[in-house]
């Protein structure tokens, strides 16, 4: 059992940008794409400052980060704005200590508080379902690229909010620039 880590989760601040970049570089091995993605989203109209959260330890060091930004669900009825969770990273020295779970829980709470209806994530099928995510195909919604069904997931923040919205997710240009 790991010793309890003292940290707070809060909205990112300008002084956190370098720490956020470092965490992504470390957590994703060569996390250049993820680190660049955050910066591209931050400088786009899809960025929501209140939905970029950090976990900071007692010394103020950034040990985790999660970002939710605007993406689009393209349906026969039109384009529906929604949220994408990407990326989420925890400093490797702090992984498996509950920080990632806390970031997801706090992020979902913030998304609900700001009135968003749903969130999509491309992620680990053993991690995200514990927060209510399920394969987006169950709602008739396709990933924007070929991936295994179980890794592209949706979460209704308002029950029934995805009913009748069959379609395909479309990520903004920032995602294409780094993939």
Average pLDDT, the chain: 95
Burial of 76 (0-12, 13-18, 19+ CB in 10 A): exposed
pTM: 0.95
Q: Does 1 have pLDDT greater than 50?
A: no
b/e 83-100 (16+ beta carbons within 10 angstroms → b): bbbbbbbbbeebeebbbb
Whether the predicted pLDDT of 5 surpasses 90: no
Mean pLDDT value of segment 143-152: 96
């Amino acid at each position: 059992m790991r010793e309890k880590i003292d940290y707070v989760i809060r909205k990112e601040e300008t002084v956190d940008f370098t720490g956020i970049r470092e965490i992504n570089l470390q957590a994703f091995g060569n996390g250049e794409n993820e680190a660049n993605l955050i910066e591209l989203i931050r400088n786009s109209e899809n960025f929501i400052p209140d939905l970029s959260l950090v976990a900071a330890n007692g010394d103020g060091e950034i040990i985790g980060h999660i970002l939710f930004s605007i993406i689009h669900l393209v349906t026969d009825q039109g384009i529906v704005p929604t949220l994408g969770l990407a990326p989420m990273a925890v400093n490797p020295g702090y992984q498996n200590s509950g920080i990632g779970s806390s970031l997801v829980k706090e992020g979902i709470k913030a998304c609900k508080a700001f009135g968003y209806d749903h969130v999509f994530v491309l992620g680990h099928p053993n991690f995200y379902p514990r927060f209510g995510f399920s394969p987006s195909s169950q709602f008739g919604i396709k990933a924007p690229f070929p991936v295994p069904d179980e890794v592209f997931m949706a979460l209704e923040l308002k029950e029934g909010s995805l009913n009748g919205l069959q379609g395909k997710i479309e990520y903004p240009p920032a995602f294409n620039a780094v993939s």
